[in-house]
Structure 1
Amino acid sequence: MIYRNGFLIYNPAARTLDTAGVEQLDRTLEVLHKAGHSIATARTFGPGTGADVARECLAKGADLILVAGGDGTINEAANGVIPSEVPFGVLPGGTANILAMELGLPQAMEEAARGLGQWIPRRISAGLLTSDGGSHRRFFLLLAGVGLDAHIVSQVDPALKSSQGKLAYWIAGLAEFSRELDEFEVRAGGQVRRVSFALSSRVRNYGGSVVITPDAHLLRDDFAMAWFEGRNTLRYLTYLGGILTNKLAGMEGVTLLHARSAEFVPLEDGPVFVEVDGELAGALPARVDIVPDALTLLVPPSFLSWTR
């Protein structure tokens, strides 16, 4: 497939798009042009601008939207493309590149770009978060986290994230051991639990480091959910052991299930945060829903070998 009016959206503030990264972006464009694709660049202008940039590209008749950046930039651009049928592809280029990892793309941006002509368009479902009691709505491709991990995201130092990448999240996570966790109620699949962390995922990889929901897949039409009970952060050391040894199923305090929607209800004063695709996205009360036939994602042929 050759694209005649494609746009490459990139985040100039992405960790890997510093001076050396700009050269990598130039090399990537050269790869695309040599392959016969006509690709223009479109930069974002700060947090929250990616969706508008994507909409502007669609208004110019784009036949392809590529995004070079981390999962946050990809999320913003996807929010501007959904529910269009214009193909949407990703190139790794940020702090975390979970979607690129999930698709099995090469880590180097220009190497990933070499496969563009062979990538296959597939309509996939997306998640939709409705938060802050219904006042905010946001699509997501990877996951929604409520409680513990969203609080960690809220505490990440932006400067440290820019310089140290994923290490900034681990540092913020260690600080959680000094506090009692907030609890809330989660309802899905006919089950109700009082928990401190609830994950609704479309992907296997969590944070690019561990696997919490091994049965999740972008070609499924549901969420793989993992709920964790308990206020005491030390309990999460046991949970982490279960994650690392792939023994979460059946562990006390852990609920694993698949569902197409879930509700999250606050039980105490003070905000309980929600994050989607690694970015803070509001507070409870909230819900997540599957939106079928939402996005035309470009995937390598090997990705289609998945079966239920």
Structure 2
Amino acid sequence: MRAGIVFNPVKLSREQLAPQVETAQPLDWSEPAWFETGAEDGGEAAVREALDAGVDLLIVAGGDGTVRVAADLVTGTSVPLAIIPAGTGNLLARNLGIDVASLRAAVRTAFEGEEREIDLGELELEAPDGERSRHAFAVMVGFGLDAEMIEATDDDLKQRVGWLAYVNAAGRVIATLDKVRVQVRMDDGRTVRQTVNTMVIGNCGTVTNGIVLLPDAAVDDGKLDIALIRPRGARGWLQVIGYIARNNLLVTKVLRRKGRLGRQRTGAALGYGQAQRTVARLEEPRVVQVDGDVVGEAVALRATIREDALRVRVPKRRTLLGPPA
């Protein structure tokens, strides 16, 4: 058995990783193969090289962009993916319960964790000039507040203060965020026309700093979760904040996990939906983000789900031991 380790040296160096890998790797495994990502392709060449080398486990140490590239390329192979979170958001790792604060714990999960099959989203965009592009996503895509915030985030500030740089950017863009008329169709349902300023399509529900944005989302339910954010003035934004705050209350999370809380209800400022396929057409182009990376402007998008497309290593579930009944 042999692991292939794809690492982004800007995020995490080989010198930092190697001692942890040496400690966690099983004694009967061969020496791991190391593949450094390049800045020009988001890690695609390194991932392809690792898979071509015939590794038995693909370990990716980097941010959400590198993880997304690896998830797309490893799909359809028999090679499981392990994630060493080393970015600002680490969104897929958070949604899978991987420790984003401890390098040692993440590396141990890579070698000792259990395998889980999860879904992978696929997004097709139509640019204003008619050109089309395809993007895999593991977490969320969308336009509006999240995309504009990401585009406005200062990279130097992000290096210094992490996710707080997004808060700074959000405060600058929210006041000038324009609404757009959009036609949305989910699966074979009717086309709905609404005026929104943000649309989010997610395979996962948790975003930066553990905030739950899509409370009904599950990474392995074969569905995409959709949120249409349509506040009217300051009062509308307060309603949106109220919805999100309620979804992040501990009691709400516990009740939802135990199945005692029904599906999220649609409100005046925030609407929810679920589908395997979602098509949206915008009257005006908007910037679109894919798993935290801005990929350009679009006037139309189509998102679909690939069910159980990816095998990932996640922490082992704890077994609670107690006295016999």
Q: What are structure 2's unaligned runs of at least 5 residues? A: 249-263, 319-325
Q: What are structure 1's unaligned runs of at least 5 residues? A: 304-308
| 2:59 counterpart of 1:66 | yes
State the match for 1:207 in structure 2. Answer: 208
Match of 2:146 among 143, 149, 153: 149
C-alpha spacing 1:158/1:33, structure 2 compared with 1 (3 Å): same
Contact 2:177 2:197 in 1 (8 A): no
Q: Which moved more, 1:124-133 or 1:239-248?
A: 239-248
Q: What is the TM-score when the length of structure 1 is the normalising length? A: 0.86
State the match for 2:244 in structure 1. Answer: 243
State the match for 1:50 in structure 2. Answer: 43
Q: Distance in 1 between matches of 2:39 and 2:238?
A: 36
1:81 Cα deviation from its structure 2 partner: 1.9
Contact 2:124 2:301 in 1 (8 A): yes
State the match for 1:89 in structure 2. Answer: 82
Contact 1:24 1:109 in 2 (8 A): no
Q: What is the TM-score when the length of structure 2 is the normalising length? A: 0.82
| 2:252 counterpart of 1:255 | no
Q: How many residues align?
A: 294
Match of 1:277 among 285, 291, 316: 291
Q: The residue matched to 1:208 in structure 2 has which SS?
A: helix
What amino acid is aligned across from residue 123 of structure 2 in structure 1?
Answer: L
1:34 Cα deviation from its structure 2 partner: 5.5
Segments ≥4 residues shifted beyond 6 Å: none
| 2:157 counterpart of 1:160 | yes
Q: Which moved more, 1:63-72 or 1:293-302?
A: 293-302
1:220 Cα deviation from its structure 2 partner: 1.0
Aligned-residue CA RMSD (Å): 2.4
Q: Distance in 2 between matches of 1:113 and 1:206?
A: 22
Q: Which moved more, 1:73-82 or 1:233-242?
A: 233-242
Structure ID, larger Rg: 2
| 2:185 counterpart of 1:188 | yes
State the match for 2:280 in structure 1. Answer: 264
1:74 Cα deviation from its structure 2 partner: 0.7
1:300 Cα deviation from its structure 2 partner: 2.8
1:36 Cα deviation from its structure 2 partner: 4.3
Q: Distance in 2 between matches of 1:180 and 1:113?
A: 41
1:7 Cα deviation from its structure 2 partner: 0.9
Contact 1:48 1:76 in 2 (8 A): no
State the match for 2:108 in structure 1. Answer: 114
State the match for 1:299 in structure 2. Answer: 314
State the match for 1:222 in structure 2. Answer: 223
